[in-house]
Structure 1
């Protein structure tokens, strides 16, 4: 039949019409998929509540994901959101953090109060949010016990009470475990799959008429989850980006119950372990760690030691930095690990043998020392010395004194004639009282008032101030060398000279180390910048003011300009005939420990060299070392 015949033309016209209709239908359906969630101004909302920035960062990630899937949402901080607009919303996705005492951050107080009061007010009614569907992801710390993710749980309950339909059950992230990023990604996948499936099922529209079977995942969701989990397992996230995140209860393995595996809780999760190792940490067993310090490398190369070399005479190239507990009871704003380590108020994990910890720590440390062979400046003599550690700084990260067998571990180090410099965060006074003599015992005094300490250390304990004061009292009873460690954070704790001095009479420390905070980069959990880092001149001025306040009881004894660190020492103990004795006779210390006799800090002190004394031309730099100035690309002997 000729193509120009009437039947052929009609057939072709019908084909074109059908194709055009189908294309128009698909285009309109795609347009519905993009826009029908949020017709006109009623777009879906991503609300976040964040204090340190973690929840905000997660909400931004969700926003970008939804945009990539052609799902248009607005992202809003609850402090800028009018809660009276909630009844107008169709879809609300909430990412919320829980702050102190199970409360929302102060910026979200108005929103949280409105929601709580509305849910309880019978005049509002249970249909106020009947047109709204929602999902909540909570970010909190299980270490806070009953208040874990309390705000997220309250929001979920209150939204339901007001008639909103929960798209997915509440998902919760525990910031102390290490894989909140992965868990959040899984939650996002479920949200996206739910939205797309429900929109397609309803012809491109998602409204209140859609079935409420929100808690049953579809086949598409299951497939998406499987792929997401596979991708997440293979991805290693940089430690500094984890921000101390943890899994939701939905992702807990079947064999794990209440955070315990086979009846014993693991302090270091696989994700934390992988990322700590990526950062150069060597994990020992299930809760300990060791890492080579940059000052160890520096003195191995003959380029100078750390402030403890200047103040106390340690050999930095023979010093091992370790901890028997990666967990801590604080979340300090200047934490150099950005809270990637676990937190807790008591020991609740599997416990490793102290001798095994020491043996493994030394093996791992010496292996790292061996890797310095052939590095420019490393002599065979210093390398051989470095392979035999003589000092152990129990201050790597976390709270060493939490480890139940800390005394046995200290004994083991002393048997090997390895000195011990132990740092505690002043939240476990009973542990301090029970601690056997160590070479030098530090207490971190990060603030001088209750309010400032709470703001800087962000402690888990509700009675943190009482514990802090009791720790200082316990320190006073110690016979061996004791130290207050002050970390100055400009704009936070540098104006409290009078208040700090009042603390001196409580603990009566032998020494007070005053150091400018080290800037470790911004993170979701810390917003410190270089503006918060004091100059060495600032630290010196603060130290001199404290010394003056003490009316001669403490004098400025030493400094280490490179570390922006100054040492105050008790004058009547450590200044004899005008000569400072802040250094340590380590051989004598070990002999005293082995003897079993009672001894005090005067029994093992040694003279401080002139180059380490405050005001010396060297600024605390050992003239026997070579100083390298990178910016000028030359070296000079000092």
Structure 2
């Protein structure tokens, strides 16, 4: 106790100070607070232009930029401070999408997200503020050093100036530091008059006003719309679920020039709001990452960003050219012809090339090398030929093909996404190859190593305007370049489908592994001098191959090594019909045709061979069953595919003598198939009708070799095929039966329609069809 007491006595002065502090501390703290408040208030009154922005740290500069940006966008009295405010970080001038991709290390992109909403009771306002806050937090960290995401701004459509935001892009107050805008619109649908109706009316008037550009918002980076609805009141989209959000999405597509960055999101506010909204926001974040890295939304499939879902893929004659025609189509055909188009399709190449030829009549050029073969061995002297590219990048052919969605690889090859690939990705069914042979369309690559052909068929999608010739006279690209190029092009196009409405995640993931290659796009694949090397590369990566040729190159066909399935197009049963339909360049076309059938007969015990019969009403259907039976008897193929022709609906096809009247109905195709099958049986040939795919207007006749215990086995054991290749080589001795696959599914057999029951069939409007 003594030591403690003495310690306290030693600290007498300190004790006095503490007593004074405890007695007067409230007054001291209050006085200090008042003094600090006065100092802060005084500093706030100082002029802003006395602050030098160069003295700020980078993070302080970004913060001040965000504050200024809010003043600029929200307007009001705060906007007046801009002229006297601090100078913002020097940015870049407005660039095109291609220019943005090439930003240097010293340039920075400033991106402002504007979140618009409409709300009657405040629910959407709370959701919009929450979404903006979440985006601001996640994007504030930045995706790279060249992009700055400003704090998202939330705007009520009831208060926003439409002329400022929806008749043109927001004005740039400082041209040296431009800001790029991204629109997000959250919209509930009401069945009463609301701000939504005013917005839609404004959009319609803006788009149709002749004084204003039809796409006045094309300067923004992109947009996306999310709709709220109630399925209890409006159970389906057709009955009104989120109908106003769909209308805004449509008009925004028109006003922005097709810059839909992410698909329209829709949610039932009583059941699935959080789940659907989180998915939509997550997708928007991914797109923002792409914008930050590249400065643009990237590329999309033809039709991406359109105001409404395109129906062209069901009637444009793409790739596999399968059709399902009904009587109503002929009535609508005249109306379709009246619709103007601003896209130069490949069918228009004739007009384009004639125009270009008219401008260059005075220029000298070497004559085209055409080999009208084999009637004489004479080798007369010809002018020297300049070896050139088949499809130069500056040619109208290249421009038109790329517009239609083709990716040109090298100088003479191409790849394109088939409409059935898009259909399979959305669970709307695969093509006949899946029904007949077990090939999933979303894992199939449509390509050709040669865009040139030796025929000018009346039903060709390009109507003879593509490069043609009887001999290869162009630059030859190496097979490695073509193989790598078509794969890259295919995967790129698959990735572009990530935002298509209805695409299934599991099928999208499966589509990133090519399992099959259909060498049947356009042109003549067998014309390519290194076709065997290209096939070997496909098989080396366990990609099965279907190769289609036009029966005009017997030497190349005879030298062809193993393919998974070999097709020959049989477009007519006699010489005169073949001349009218295929319009071949070879003068000895019929002799070449016959020789190819003989080669196929020799190959039938080494690989699967197929005759493809394309029925053109008025050309090769009537009274030609007997002639087709003669051809089948001559070639004895493993399979015979019979399908109706597709009409492209162009003036060039009409000039070739083809019209909608030449497209057979499916009932006519099945009638022809039954008649042909009867003729084959009368001749003692062992064939039968094995499968059908009504949606493709296609029926399969198969040899009895592929019927086991009364069951058809038209599918392929792909694993076994590759094992045979590895064991015996491409020239090995094996039979098609050795890689015959499992039993053909019941739903694909004759009389069952051939539509996969796991998928959903829809009409051109996307409405479900009961199968």
Bin for the TM-score computed over the shorter chain: 0.5 to 0.7
Does structure 1 conserve the Cα–Cα contact (< 8 Å) formed by 2:347 and 2:461?
A: no
Q: CA 1:476–1:361 in 2, change beyond 3 Å: closer, same or farther?
A: same
Q: CA 1:622–1:374 in 2, change beyond 3 Å: closer, same or farther?
A: same
Output aligned runs, 1:186-225, within 5 Å. none
- The partner residue of 1:598 within 720, 733, 744 is 733
| Distance of 1:580 and 1:238 partners within structure 2 | 41
| Distance of 1:255 and 1:534 partners within structure 2 | 46
SS in 2 for 1:332: coil
Q: Would you say 1:266 and 2:400 are equivalent positions? A: no
Deviation of 1:594 after TM superposition, in Å, equals 1.8
SS in 2 for 1:634: coil
Deviation of 1:627 after TM superposition, in Å, equals 1.4
Q: CA 1:531–1:254 in 2, change beyond 3 Å: closer, same or farther?
A: closer
Q: Which residue of 1 aligns with 2:568?
A: 443
Does structure 1 conserve the Cα–Cα contact (< 8 Å) formed by 2:577 and 2:620?
A: yes
- The partner residue of 1:486 within 610, 613, 616 is 613
Q: Which residue of 2 aligns with 1:453?
A: 578
Does structure 2 conserve the Cα–Cα contact (< 8 Å) formed by 1:522 and 1:528?
A: no
- Once the two structures are superposed, residues 204-232 of structure 1 have per-residue CA deviations (whole angstroms, 9 ceiling, x without a partner) of xxxxxxxxxxxxxxxxxxxxxxxxxxxxx
- The partner residue of 1:411 within 517, 529, 536 is 536
- The partner residue of 2:650 within 512, 522, 527 is 522
Does structure 1 conserve the Cα–Cα contact (< 8 Å) formed by 2:346 and 2:461?
A: no
Q: Which residue of 1 aligns with 2:634?
A: 506
| Distance of 1:447 and 1:584 partners within structure 2 | 28
Q: Which residue of 2 aligns with 1:548?
A: 678
Does structure 2 conserve the Cα–Cα contact (< 8 Å) formed by 1:243 and 1:523?
A: no
Does structure 1 conserve the Cα–Cα contact (< 8 Å) formed by 2:572 and 2:581?
A: yes
Deviation of 1:304 after TM superposition, in Å, equals 0.2
SS in 2 for 1:635: coil
- TM value normalised by structure 1: 0.60
Q: Would you say 1:585 and 2:700 are equivalent positions? A: no
Deviation of 1:240 after TM superposition, in Å, equals 2.0
Q: Which residue of 1 aligns with 2:287?
A: none
Does structure 2 conserve the Cα–Cα contact (< 8 Å) formed by 1:426 and 1:471?
A: yes
Deviation of 1:522 after TM superposition, in Å, equals 2.8
| Distance of 1:365 and 1:508 partners within structure 2 | 35
- Single out whichever of 546-555 and 348-357 deviates more from structure 2: 546-555
- The partner residue of 1:567 within 693, 697, 700 is 700
Q: Would you say 1:624 and 2:751 are equivalent positions? A: no
SS in 2 for 1:487: strand
| Distance of 1:236 and 1:356 partners within structure 2 | 30
- Once the two structures are superposed, residues 481-508 of structure 1 have per-residue CA deviations (whole angstroms, 9 ceiling, x without a partner) of 0000101111111120011101112111
| Distance of 2:720 and 2:698 partners within structure 1 | 27
- Once the two structures are superposed, residues 494-533 of structure 1 have per-residue CA deviations (whole angstroms, 9 ceiling, x without a partner) of 1200111011121110000000111111332433122111
| Distance of 1:305 and 1:236 partners within structure 2 | 28
- Once the two structures are superposed, residues 107-159 of structure 1 have per-residue CA deviations (whole angstroms, 9 ceiling, x without a partner) of xxxxxxxxxxxxxxxxxxxxxxxxxxxxxxxxxxxxxxxxxxxxxxxxxxxxx
Does structure 1 conserve the Cα–Cα contact (< 8 Å) formed by 2:349 and 2:396?
A: no
SS in 2 for 1:335: coil
Deviation of 1:249 after TM superposition, in Å, equals 9.5
| Distance of 1:259 and 1:267 partners within structure 2 | 13
Q: CA 1:540–1:255 in 2, change beyond 3 Å: closer, same or farther?
A: same
- Once the two structures are superposed, residues 27-69 of structure 1 have per-residue CA deviations (whole angstroms, 9 ceiling, x without a partner) of xxxxxxxxxxxxxxxxxxxxxxxxxxxxxxxxxxxxxxxxxxx
Output aligned runs, 1:420-439, within 5 Å. 420-439=545-564
| Distance of 2:540 and 2:366 partners within structure 1 | 40
- TM value normalised by structure 2: 0.50
Does structure 1 conserve the Cα–Cα contact (< 8 Å) formed by 2:640 and 2:702?
A: yes
Does structure 1 conserve the Cα–Cα contact (< 8 Å) formed by 2:347 and 2:650?
A: no
- Once the two structures are superposed, residues 423-457 of structure 1 have per-residue CA deviations (whole angstroms, 9 ceiling, x without a partner) of 10000011110000101111011000011111111
| Distance of 2:613 and 2:343 partners within structure 1 | 35
- Point out where structure 2 has 5 or more consecutive residues left out of the alignment: 1-341, 370-383
Q: Which residue of 2 aligns with 1:384?
A: 509
Q: CA 1:336–1:249 in 2, change beyond 3 Å: closer, same or farther?
A: closer
Deviation of 1:621 after TM superposition, in Å, equals 0.3
Deviation of 1:394 after TM superposition, in Å, equals 0.4
| Distance of 1:581 and 1:445 partners within structure 2 | 24
Q: Would you say 1:322 and 2:447 are equivalent positions? A: yes
Q: Which residue of 1 aligns with 2:490?
A: 365
Does structure 1 conserve the Cα–Cα contact (< 8 Å) formed by 2:761 and 2:770?
A: yes
Which is richer in strand? 1
Q: CA 1:461–1:487 in 2, change beyond 3 Å: closer, same or farther?
A: same
Deviation of 1:300 after TM superposition, in Å, equals 0.7
| Distance of 1:253 and 1:314 partners within structure 2 | 52
Deviation of 1:250 after TM superposition, in Å, equals 7.7
| Distance of 1:337 and 1:604 partners within structure 2 | 36
Q: Which residue of 1 aligns with 2:241?
A: none
| Distance of 1:386 and 1:637 partners within structure 2 | 27
| Distance of 1:254 and 1:498 partners within structure 2 | 52
Q: Which residue of 2 aligns with 1:97?
A: none
Q: Would you say 1:557 and 2:557 are equivalent positions? A: no
* Count of residue pairs the alignment pairs up: 400
Q: CA 1:252–1:439 in 2, change beyond 3 Å: closer, same or farther?
A: farther
Q: Which residue of 2 aligns with 1:217?
A: none
Q: CA 1:338–1:582 in 2, change beyond 3 Å: closer, same or farther?
A: same
Q: Which residue of 2 aligns with 1:35?
A: none
Q: CA 1:253–1:409 in 2, change beyond 3 Å: closer, same or farther?
A: farther
Does structure 2 conserve the Cα–Cα contact (< 8 Å) formed by 1:298 and 1:305?
A: yes
Deviation of 1:236 after TM superposition, in Å, equals 8.3
| Distance of 2:474 and 2:399 partners within structure 1 | 19
- Point out where structure 1 has 5 or more consecutive residues left out of the alignment: 1-234
Deviation of 1:375 after TM superposition, in Å, equals 2.0
SS in 2 for 1:385: helix
| Distance of 1:397 and 1:588 partners within structure 2 | 29
Deviation of 1:392 after TM superposition, in Å, equals 0.7
Deviation of 1:538 after TM superposition, in Å, equals 0.7
SS in 2 for 1:477: helix
Say which one has the larger Rg: 2
Q: Which residue of 2 aligns with 1:159?
A: none
| Distance of 2:343 and 2:648 partners within structure 1 | 21
| Distance of 1:516 and 1:262 partners within structure 2 | 40
SS in 2 for 1:393: strand
Deviation of 1:258 after TM superposition, in Å, equals 4.8
Q: Would you say 1:536 and 2:645 are equivalent positions? A: no
Does structure 1 conserve the Cα–Cα contact (< 8 Å) formed by 2:387 and 2:474?
A: yes
| Distance of 1:341 and 1:439 partners within structure 2 | 28
Q: Which residue of 2 aligns with 1:609?
A: 745
Q: Would you say 1:335 and 2:469 are equivalent positions? A: no
Q: Which residue of 1 aligns with 2:767?
A: 634
| Distance of 2:501 and 2:737 partners within structure 1 | 40
Deviation of 1:380 after TM superposition, in Å, equals 2.2
